[in-house]
Every structure is written in C-alpha cells, then in structure tokens.
C-alpha cells in the first residue's frame, strides 16, 4: 500500500516495503559489516586479550553511546537543540564513528516516527524479530529519494552529504588507528565490540521498547519505557516518553529517569557549543492538555 506523510510541509510517498528495495549485491556490504563486527571480537577473545583492550572498550563505549543518542538521534533526527555548522559537522563525524550515516539515520528515524507500528514503519516489531533487529540495518526499504525527501534540512549542507556518501571512512580510519596502536585485539575488542554493542542496543530500542515496558502516555504506537534499555543506552530507553513528545532534548522526563544524553546536551549548552535546547513543557510531562489547546500533543520530530 502506498501512503503519504508530511514533515515540515514535505510529502513523502512510501512504496511497498515488503522485501526491501535493495538487491542482494547492494545488501552485501551491510551483511559483511554486521558479520565482521560480531565475529572479529569473538575471534580476538578466543585468541586472547590484554587489559588495555578492555579499558579501551570502557572508554570508547560511552563515547559511541553518546554520539548515537545525542548526535544521531536527538540532533540529526529531531533537532532537539541548535548548534554551529562546525560543531554540527563534528557531531556528524562522531556519529560516523559508529559506522552510522547521519542523513540516512535521520530519514529512516523520522519515517519511523511518522508511521510507527504501521506497515510503513521501517522497523516495527510487528514485522518480526529479525526484520526489526537486523533486517532494517541491511535494507530499511527506503529509496535514496525517500531518505533525501525526509531530510531536506540536512542535505543542503555539502559536508553532511559527504558524510552521507562516505560514512564508513571515519570508522575504518579509527579501526586502522586502533590496529596500529594496539594490534588486532585492541581494534576488535576496544573498538569493534563497542560498535557491535551499540548496533544491538539501537535495535533493542526499536524492538524491546516497542514490546516490553510501561506506557506512561497514550501514544498511537506501541512504544514503551524500558528501564534496563534506558540504563544501557544512556537514556534512549524512555521510548514512550520520546514517542509522546519527540522533539525535546530529553528522553527521561523526570529527574529520576537516567538520561546522560540529556545531561551531555545541558553541559554543551552551558559551555556555549549548543543552544535553544528544547525542554518538555510541564503540561506535556504530566500528560495534560495545554491551557489553550484541547489536547496535549505529540510534537513534530
Ligand atoms: Zn520507536
Ligand atoms: Zn526519535
């Protein structure tokens, strides 16, 4: 079925997604990449690792988790804060350290919000575990034109288009750097294992947080707040909060909801690197309609 949606006045026509839009040849790089980041750390562990490999992982993992949550998700997909063009590029580079494409992710993720848990959702658990968890990483069913139509605010920056085309280069360079400094085990455990963990945690938000957890807000999708996923993803697991009001820099709406991504954004705001951080209005947090509105609403992503 073909549907259309709107974002910032743009119209997107979705073609049937079933089976994806890529040929087996086009899917091969993503399949090989997923195999590599899952098997190389195992090979390294079997061959033997050094403490420095695990200390590297302990430093790299939080960096990548914050790059995904703060950069990829809250900035590029939702523009939950503003920043300068140079720092925007740095955020883009940081997201590429996870082998993620800021424009590709933003397009896919905005369409996820627009069509959550419908047949046009790019990664709903209703399609099954494999399709949601790994299938959408290999082929999200979106054409390049659909991604660009959903990201017109990003594709106007040539440097972001460069990252869009060559997003694997920074990750390959980082991997080569770790190999040069610490050998195979440093690269495989210190870096690629962190990438693999982040990939799976991102998919766990898409799958687990649409199946298990609490629903504080009555969204039209199946999103849920999952405490464990929130802890592991530095706040991204407060997914029902997020679907209810996706435009904010916060995923944890209350002080007791662990959200280091939001704390980082507040820190970057305090030192002047970002500004116009979008907060959660009190009436939204408490699930009440605005004083001048018949219903509190879901903000545009
Ligand atoms: Zn979701
Ligand atoms: Zn989102």
Domain boundaries, the chain: 27-285
- Tell whether the model's pLDDT for residue 113 goes beyond 80: yes
What is the per-residue burial (b if ≥16 Cβ within 10 Å, else e) of 242-274? Answer: bbbbbbbbbbbbeeebbbbbbbbbeebbeeebb
CA distance 72 to 95: 6
| pLDDT at residue 12, as a whole number | 56
The rounded distance, in Å, linking the Cα atoms of 154 and 122 is 20
Ligand 1 centroid from CA 51, angstroms: 37
Query: What's the 25 CA to ligand 1 centre distance in angstroms?
Result: 29
C-alpha atoms less than 13 angstroms from C-alpha of 283 in its C-beta half-sphere: 12
Beta carbons of 157 and 85 less than 8 angstroms apart: yes
What is the distance in A from the centroid of ligand 1 to the CA of 203? 10
- Which of 236, 257, 248, 244 lies closest to 215, judged by CA? 244
Distances (CA, A) of 176 to 90, 102, 183, 187: 20, 22, 9, 8
CA of 113 to the centre of ligand 2 (A): 7
Going from the Cα of 237 to the center of ligand 1, the distance in angstroms, rounded, reads: 10
- Angstrom distance (rounded) from CA 72 to CA 264: 14
Residues 135 and 17 sit within 8 Å (Cβ to Cβ): no
How far apart are the CA of 47 and the centre of ligand 1, in A?
38
Please give the share of the chain, as a percent, with pLDDT higher than 90: 82
Phi, psi values for residue 29, rounded to 5°: -60, -40
Calculate how far, in angstroms, residue 220's C-alpha sits from the geometric centre of ligand 1.
11
SS percent in the chain: helix, strand, coil, step 5: 60, 5, 35
Q: What is the pLDDT of residues 159-216, one digit of tens each?
A: 999 999 999 999 999 999 999 999 999 999 999 999 999 999 999 999 999 999 999 9
Per residue in 241-267, pLDDT tens?
999 999 999 999 999 999 999 999 999
């Amino acid at each position: 079925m073909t549907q259309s949606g709107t974002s910032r006045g743009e119209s997107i026509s979705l073609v049937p997604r079933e089976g994806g839009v890529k040929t087996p040849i086009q899917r091969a790089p993503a399949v090989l990449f997923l195999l590599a980041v899952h098997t190389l750390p195992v090979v390294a562990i079997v061959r033997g690792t050094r403490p420095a490999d695990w200390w590297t992982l302990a430093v790299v993992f939080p960096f990548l988790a914050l790059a995904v949550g703060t950069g990829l998700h809250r900035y590029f997909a939702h523009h939950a804060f503003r920043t300068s063009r140079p720092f925007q590029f740095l955020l883009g580079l940081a997201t590429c350290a996870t082998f993620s494409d800021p424009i590709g992710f933003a397009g896919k993720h905005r369409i996820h919000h627009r069509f959550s848990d419908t047949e046009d959702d790019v990664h709903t658990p209703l399609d099954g575990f494999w399709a949601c968890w790994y299938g959408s990483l290999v082929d999200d069913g979106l054409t390049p034109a659909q991604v660009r139509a959903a990201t017109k605010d990003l594709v106007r920056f040539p440097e972001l288009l460069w990252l869009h085309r060559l997003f694997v280069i920074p990750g390959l360079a980082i991997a080569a750097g770790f190999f040069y400094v610490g050998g195979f085990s440093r690269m495989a455990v210190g870096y690629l294992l962190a990438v693999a963990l982040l990939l799976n945690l991102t998919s766990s938000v898409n799958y687990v947080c649409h199946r298990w957890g609490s629903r504080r807000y009555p969204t039209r999708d199946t999103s849920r707040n999952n405490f464990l996923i929130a802890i592991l993803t530095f706040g991204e697991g407060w997914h029902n909060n997020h679907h209810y009001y996706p435009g904010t820099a916060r995923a944890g709406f209350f002080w007791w909801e662990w959200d280091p991504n939001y704390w980082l954004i507040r820190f970057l705001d305090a030192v002047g690197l970002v500004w116009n951080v979008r907060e959660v209005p009190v009436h939204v947090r408490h699930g009440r309609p605005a004083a001048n509105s018949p219903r509190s609403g879901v903000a545009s992503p």
